[in-house]
């Protein structure tokens, strides 16, 4: 595994070009004839569908929870209306909005809100469209809400499953919190193994899960088959129109049935659209529908089962195995949003909204399968805090819906804009279709706002915090980049400065290697060496790093020498190209230089390496508010050690540069 930190940040020592990695936009893991490999679908089942696939555990129970601030009475009409609303909510939001529409908008195979923002930025390049700039800001807030979802999902999912032991043995209730905490710690500890390994382990478990809940749901339906009439949208519409004062508040809990929809999209880079679409349409969706309708039939037969309709679908002898299976499934539910958070964080860093995080690629076949340690451990701490603070899934349910609905609505809005601007979808189709999709989203948002004081403030707070961090980093990065370019100056002008001999620059024996962002500007370390020490090695190699969209680059193709016309000055520029699974070992790459190119003059075995490092300081210029300057500088500290990353010899590496006042 290697880290993907080549792209320069404002405080980073060296920069390079990162080429976007093209994936199969139609779907990864395709075999001969374009058939999606079964192993890829199984892997997707083990990673992507855990969140949405475990929603049947707590959705209906939460809707009819008598402790809810706005309880829904358990009546025949209400049960039919709620079950119908759940079915059509899942159909409209997950199947239509995400699987059929949004997942077709990908950024080189990557999905999620950050991918949509990238597509917007490509379309607006050179156009200066203010509307798109505003939409990009809205998208960043949607991505921020998704981080809130990533924190709440593991807590509520695992809690809801472990709480099933109360159905079997109420005296074990005091074990729920510690058992949940242990499971969560183990889950985050295994993330470093990669989503491919996790998916292979979890895939069969999720297949067993979906088959089980489908069979139990079918058994429940068989006891009252008339519940299937709720498949008609007339029940959902009738419930909303005839009992709006009840249905409106019920929407705040019904939204739990679509939690995980954004994870499907955000995880698209891990497994591809085709594998995810097939897993949803042929297994996950039918199993969830059967479970919801089976629970509805069970509640109609015995309203007392509303305390735990999901677990009470199973016979007495099957409830303990079901609790164990549910616990395993909810661990996998957490996996879906964790991998989604990795994807969002990675894309945010590439777009300049986060610093260069250490990103480990865990697959040689799929670039989207990654592990982000910093995000992983931040999520662990936050999830454990939520478990110990809220202590029950029902308490967390009030907070859950707000993050989900906000993210879904923003994704829909961005997709509609791209459909019009990029795909040229006619307005006669876009306006009525978009009105329906956004209208559904708006209803869910309005309903969840009624839970604001009961916990819905939490994801909004998390989202706002993440939004401030990302927008502050993006703005600070722009400021630092502009000032750094002025400090670096033109490489051509700098070479002419050396030639002028004023002040005199002593050329000392040896080879110096300077890591830089490109070949247009002079490395800050090189400038500092000449201007302050008045010395420069006889042979200078300026190195830029380029990450290619392939797992590995052969040594024969690793180095490209650029003719800058400074050969007489002993200065040359090379581009070191690495695959995304290659260790960016700069000394090893330079060893592959053709001696004929350098005329045998470079002594790389004793070369000195120079890194240009920027020290950020809070200045007096009104570039940003004072607190944002402090936040930007604090955020810059999570960037990793460049000497270790580029495999530079620490005893022959000199870090030089300058400071920049924000």
* DSSP string covering 208-262: HHHHHHHHHHHHHHHH-GGGGGGGSHHHHHHHHHHSHHHHHHHHHHHGGGGTTHH
Torsions phi, psi of 216, nearest 5? -60, -40
Are residues 115 and 210 located together in one domain of the fold? yes
| The predicted structure's pLDDT at residue 467 | 92
Give the containing element (helix H, strand E) for 489: none
Does any domain span residue 58? Answer: yes
Are residues 401 and 542 located together in one domain of the fold? no
Are residues 274 and 168 located together in one domain of the fold? yes
Average pLDDT over every residue of 586-597: 80
- Going by C-alpha positions, the residue among 638, 625, 358, 660 that lies closest to residue 471 is 625
Number of domains in the chain: 2
Does any domain span residue 464? Answer: no
Give the Cα separation of 560 and 16 in Å (integer). 14
Contacts (Cβ under 8 Å, ≥6 apart) of 278: 36, 41
Last residue of a domain, one of 435, 455, 475: 455
Residues of the chain with pLDDT > 90, as a percent, come to 27
Give the Cα separation of 104 and 618 in Å (integer). 44
C-alpha 415, offset from chain centre = 17
Give the containing element (helix H, strand E) for 537: strand 535-548
| The predicted structure's pLDDT at residue 232 | 96
Does any domain span residue 538? Answer: yes
Torsions phi, psi of 490, nearest 5? -70, 135
Torsions phi, psi of 18, nearest 5? -115, 115
pLDDT in tens, 199-219: 667 788 899 999 999 999 999
Q: Where are the alpha helices (DSSP H) in 521-593?
A: 524-528, 586-591
Last residue of a domain, one of 413, 439, 455: 455
Give the containing element (helix H, strand E) for 17: strand 16-18
pLDDT classification of 10: cutoffs 50, 70, 90 = very low
Q: Do 364 and 88 contact (CB within 8 A), yes or no?
A: no
Does any domain span residue 475? Answer: no
pLDDT in tens, 488-519: 788 888 888 888 776 678 888 888 999 887 78
Average pLDDT, the chain: 82
614 DSSP β-pair partners: 658
Are residues 49 and 196 located together in one domain of the fold? yes
- Going by C-alpha positions, the residue among 341, 348, 351 that lies closest to residue 376 is 341
Are residues 417 and 511 located together in one domain of the fold? no
Are residues 337 and 402 located together in one domain of the fold? yes
Average pLDDT over every residue of 411-434: 90
pLDDT in tens, 70-94: 889 999 999 999 999 999 999 999 9
Q: Do 544 and 573 contact (CB within 8 A), yes or no?
A: yes
Give the Cα separation of 240 and 243 in Å (integer). 6
Structural domain boundaries enclosing 571: 486-661
Are residues 105 and 253 located together in one domain of the fold? yes
Torsions phi, psi of 549, nearest 5? -80, 55
What does 583-633 look like in DSSP terms, one character per residue? ---HHHHHHTS-HHHHTT---GGG-EEEEEEEEEE--SSTTS-HHHHHHHH
Whether the pLDDT of residue 561 is over 90: the answer is no
Give the Cα separation of 661 and 638 in Å (integer). 19
From 125-139, 200-214, 250-264, 456-470, the region with the lowest mean pLDDT = 125-139
Does any domain span residue 185? Answer: yes
Residue 77 DSSP code? H
Whether the pLDDT of residue 415 is over 60: the answer is yes
Residue in the block written with tokens 């479970």 = 291
Does any domain span residue 481? Answer: no
Dihedral over Cα of 300, 303, 309, 315: its sign: negative
Give the containing element (helix H, strand E) for 505: none
Last residue of a domain, one of 411, 435, 455: 455
Torsions phi, psi of 535, nearest 5? -135, 155
From 26-30, 78-82, 643-647, the region with the lowest mean pLDDT = 26-30
Are residues 239 and 106 located together in one domain of the fold? yes
Are residues 166 and 267 located together in one domain of the fold? yes
Does any domain span residue 4? Answer: no
Domain CATH for 104: 1.20.1740.10
- Going by C-alpha positions, the residue among 580, 660, 579, 586 that lies closest to residue 623 is 660
Give the Cα separation of 159 and 183 in Å (integer). 10
Does any domain span residue 1? Answer: no
Are residues 445 and 494 located together in one domain of the fold? no
Are residues 448 and 521 located together in one domain of the fold? no
- Going by C-alpha positions, the residue among 156, 374, 182 that lies closest to residue 260 is 156
Are residues 528 and 439 located together in one domain of the fold? no
Average pLDDT over every residue of 28-49: 65
- Going by C-alpha positions, the residue among 527, 449, 436 that lies closest to residue 485 is 527
Average pLDDT over every residue of 619-638: 86
């Amino acid at each position: 595994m290697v880290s993907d930190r080549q792209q320069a940040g404002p405080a980073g020592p060296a920069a390079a070009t990162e080429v976007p990695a093209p994936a199969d936009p139609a779907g990864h893991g395709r075999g001969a004839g374009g058939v999606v490999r079964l192993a890829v679908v199984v892997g997707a089942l083990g990673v992507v569908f855990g969140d949405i696939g475990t929603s049947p555990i707590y959705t209906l129970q939460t809707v009819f929870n008598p402790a809810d601030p706005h309880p829904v009475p358990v009546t025949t009409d209400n049960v039919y209306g709620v079950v119908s609303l759940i079915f059509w909510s899942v159909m409209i939001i997950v199947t239509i909005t995400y699987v059929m529409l949004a997942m077709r908008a990908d950024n080189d195979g990557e999905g999620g809100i950050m991918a949509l923002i990238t597509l917007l930025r490509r379309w607006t390049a050179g156009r200066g469209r203010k509307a798109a700039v505003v939409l990009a800001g809205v998208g960043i807030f949607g991505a921020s809400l998704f981080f809130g979802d990533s924190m709440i999902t593991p807590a509520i999912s695992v809690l809801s499953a472990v709480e099933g032991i109360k159905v079997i043995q109420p005296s074990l209730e005091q074990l729920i919190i510690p058992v949940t905490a242990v499971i969560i710690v183990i889950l985050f500890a295994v993330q470093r193994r990669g989503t491919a390994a996790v998916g292979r382990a979890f895939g069969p478990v999720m297949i067993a899960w979906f088959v089980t809940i489908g069979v139990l749901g079918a058994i429940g339906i068989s006891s009252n088959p008339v519940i299937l009439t709720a498949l008609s949208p007339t029940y959902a519409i009738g419930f909303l129109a005839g009992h709006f004062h009840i249905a409106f508040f019920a929407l705040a809990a019904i939204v739990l049935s679509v939690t995980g929809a954004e994870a499907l999209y955000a995880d698209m880079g891990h497994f591809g659209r085709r594998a995810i679409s097939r897993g949803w349409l042929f297994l996950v969706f039918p199993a969830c529908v059967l479970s919801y309708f089976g629970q509805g039939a069970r509640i109609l037969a015995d309203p007392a089962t509303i305390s735990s309709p999901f677990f009470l679908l199973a016979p007495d002898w099957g409830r303990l195995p079901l609790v164990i299976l549910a616990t395993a499934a909810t661990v996998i539910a957490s996996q879906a949003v964790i991998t989604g958070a990795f994807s969002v964080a990675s894309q945010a860093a590439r777009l300049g909204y986060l610093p260069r995080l250490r990103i480990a690629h865990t697959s040689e076949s799929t670039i989207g399968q990654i592990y982000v340690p910093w995000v992983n451990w931040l999520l662990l701490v936050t999830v454990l805090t939520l478990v110990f603070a809220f202590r029950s899934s029902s308490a967390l349910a009030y907070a859950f819906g707000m993050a989900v609905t906000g993210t879904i609505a923003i994704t829909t809005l961005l997709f509609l804009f791209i459909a019009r601007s990029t795909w040229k979808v006619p307005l006669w189709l876009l306006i009525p279709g978009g009105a329906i999709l956004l209208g559904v989203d708006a209803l869910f948002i309005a309903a969840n706002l009624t839970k604001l004081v009961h916990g819905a403030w939490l994801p909004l707070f998390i989202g706002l915090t993440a939004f401030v961090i990302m927008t502050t980093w993006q703005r600070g990065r722009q400021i630092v980049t502009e000032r750094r370019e002025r400090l670096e100056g033109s490489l051509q002008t700098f070479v002419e400065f050396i030639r002028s001999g004023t002040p005199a620059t002593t050329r000392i024996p040896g080879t110096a290697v300077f890591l830089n962002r490109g070949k247009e500007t002079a490395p800050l370390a090189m400038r500092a060496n000449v201007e302050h020490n008045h010395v420069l090695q006889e042979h200078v190699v300026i190195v830029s790093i380029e990450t290619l969209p392939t797992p590995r680059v052969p040594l024969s193709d690793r180095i490209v020498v650029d003719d800058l016309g400074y050969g007489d000055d002993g200065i040359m520029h090379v581009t070191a190209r690495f695959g995304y699974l290659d260790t960016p070992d700069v000394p090893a790459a330079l060893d592959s230089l053709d001696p004929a190119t350098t005329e045998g003059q470079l002594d790389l075995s004793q070369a000195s390496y120079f890194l240009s490092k920027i020290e950020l300081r809070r200045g007096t210029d009104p570039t940003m508010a004072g607190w944002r300057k402090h936040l930007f500088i604090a955020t810059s500290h999570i960037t990793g050690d460049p000497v270790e990353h580029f495999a530079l010899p620490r005893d022959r590496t000199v870090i030089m540069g300058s400071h920049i006042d924000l």
